[in-house]
Amino acid sequence: MNSFAVVQARSFADAAAAMSQKSYSLPVLKAGGIDLIDHLKEGLIAPDVLVDVRRVRTKDPITVSGDEIRIDATATLAEIAAAAELRAAAPVLAQAVENAASPQVRNAATAAGNLLQRPRCWYYRNEQFNCLKKGGPTCFAVEGENRYHAIFGDGPCHIVHPSNLAPALWVCDGVVHLTGSDRPSVPVRYLFHTPDKGVRTENVLAPGEVVTHITCKKAPASGFYAIKEKQSFDWPVVAASVVLELKGTVVQSATVCAGAVAPIPWDLRNVSLALRNVDVADDAALTKACSVAGRGAKPMSDNGYKVKLLPVAVKRAVLTAAGRKVEIDA
């Protein structure tokens, strides 16, 4: 690790200004510091200045007013999970973060940090592997160890996007608001780009653009379900976020997005369409509608099981969103 300076930002505008200062060669924004510390320990970055925004927050970091939910960029995952009003307004958001990582991580990790964290791919994280994401020639997962890698997205890099919150905000029409930019905001749907649009980054934000807060619509009939090998401190192998409009138990419209299966939150529009007019009380019809979730997947040597798991996660997220019992409380 090399020496670096720390700038304690008083506002996001301050932080954006500091990030754009020409005197720094590699400024890095720090909020919760979770992914940052990992990168420093793994020797993957060597910043000369950290611009710390952790203490930049409004008096009320999470608010629900009218039709809108507003979350400070620096609201912690624990705060999001604990906010009763938010949970009622959009259960999918609370459910997406309440079991993420560990209690210690959730107490420090922030909303924006969760969206903008880098992938957990074991080749990317290992400095010995000069992979595409680090400017190298190859994605080592293709011919190598890929049990936790992407089943969608067509590469050339096969990471999965690690954020649980991103697909949850995606289905709630989330918008990230920016400072230090000539655009005021970017919808979460357009926040991430596939590797073919630039393999070195995962999102469209430019250096100097700083997320101030996130807004999204209310989605009272929404749900999240993750399938994890371990029930503590593990990454999902597949996850699904769903927002429904229901008439009784019949789906009027659905929005479905998957996590942990592609380099970006993965739009399952075929499932969204298939769910229309499905009675969630009709198990066979619901199973059939969800079964299309794995279509178009291109698994590699060791991750075909994810294709089988995805429809299960989607179905359970739908049932959760519809407020029905999910037979999963083992």
Partner 1 sequence: MKTDVAPTLDGGSAQIPTDMPTANRPMNMGQSMNDNASRLDGIAKITGAAKYSSDMLLPNAVYARFVRCPFGAASLAGVDDAAAKKVPGIIDIEVVPKDCTYHGQPVGHIAGDSPIAVNRALKALRLQWKKQPVKVSIAEGAAIDPPQGEIDGADATLLAVYSTPVQTHSSLETHGGVVDHRGDKATVYASTQGTFSVRDGFGDAIGLKNADFEVVCEYVGGGFGSKLGGPGKELILAAKLSRKFNRPAYVMCNRAEEHLDTGNRPSSVTKVKLGFKKDGTCAGGEIRTYGGVGVAKGGGGVSIPSGRYTLGTIDKKHEDVSFNAGGPRAFRAPGHPQAAFAEELALDEIAAKIGMDPLDLKRKLARDDVYRAMMDEGAKLIGWKDRKANGSQKSVLRTGYGMGTAGWGSAPPGGNAEVVIHPDGSVESRTGTQDIGTGQRTTMGICTADAIGIPLGLVTVRIGRSTLPPGPGSGGSVTSPTTAPTMMAAATQARTKLLEAVAKQSGENAADFAVQDGVVLRRGERVLGWKEACALLPADGVSGTADTGDRGKGDSQGVQFVKVVVDCETGIVYPKHVIAIQSCGRVICRKTAESQIIGGVIQGLSYGLFENRILDRNVGAMVNANFEWYKILGPGDMPHIEPVLWARGQTGVKALGEPPTIPTAGALACAVFNAVGVPVRHLPLTPDKVLVALEGGKA
Indicate whether 122 belongs to the interface with partner 1 (CB under 8 A): yes
309 belongs to the binding site for partner 1 (CB under 8 A): yes
74: CB partners within 8 A, 6+ apart:
31, 32, 53, 54, 55, 56, 57, 61, 110, 111, 112
Longest dimension (CA), the chain: 63
User: Closest distance between partner 1 and the C-beta of residue 151, in Å?
Assistant: 13
How far apart CA 232 and CA 41 sit, in angstroms, is: 23
Element (H, E) at 256: strand 250-259
Q: Counting contacts by CB under 8 A, is residue 12 touching partner 1?
A: no
Residue 11's SS3 state is coil
For residue 129 the two structure tokens come to 């592997």
* Binding-site string for partner 1 from residue 27 to residue 66, where x marks contact by CB under 8 A and - marks none: ----------------x-----------------------
If binding is defined by CB under 8 A, does position 231 make contact with partner 1? Answer: yes
Indicate which single residue of 12, 129, 192, 266 sits in contact with partner 1 (rule: CB under 8 A). Answer: 129
Closer CB to partner 1, residue 60 or residue 127?
Answer: 127
Gyration radius (Cα) of the chain, Å: 20
**What is the chain's percent helix, strand, coil content, to nearest 5?**
30, 20, 50
Among 130, 173, 302, 323, binds partner 1 (CB under 8 A): 302
Least separation in angstroms between residue 61's CB and partner 1 is: 27
Min. distance of Cβ 194 from partner 1 in angstroms?
24
Shortest spacing between CB 237 and partner 1, in angstroms: 7
Q: Cα dist. 12→31, 73, 75, 87, 322 in Å?
A: 11, 10, 14, 27, 38
Do residues 241 and 170 make contact, with C-beta atoms less than 8 angstroms apart? yes
Is 270 one of the binding residues for partner 1 (CB under 8 A)? Answer: no
- Does 266 interact with partner 1 (rule: CB under 8 A)? no
Binding to partner 1 (CB under 8 A) within 14-33 occurs at none
Tokens at residue 193, please?
């780009």
**Residue 236: is the preceding peptide bond cis (ω within 30°)?**
no
Asked if 65 contacts 86 with a C-beta cutoff of 8 angstroms, the reply is: no
Q: Is 4 in the site for partner 1 (CB under 8 A)?
A: no
Does 284 participate in binding partner 1 (rule CB under 8 A)? no
Binding-site residue total for partner 1 (CB under 8 A)? 33
In the complex, least distance from residue 286 CB atom to partner 1, rounded to whole angstroms: 13
224 binds partner 1 (CB under 8 A): no
Q: Is 273 in the site for partner 1 (CB under 8 A)?
A: no
Contact footprint for partner 1 (CB under 8 A): 1-2, 43, 120, 122-123, 126, 128-129, 140, 143-145, 147-148, 227-234, 237, 302, 304-305, 308-309, 312, 327-328, 330
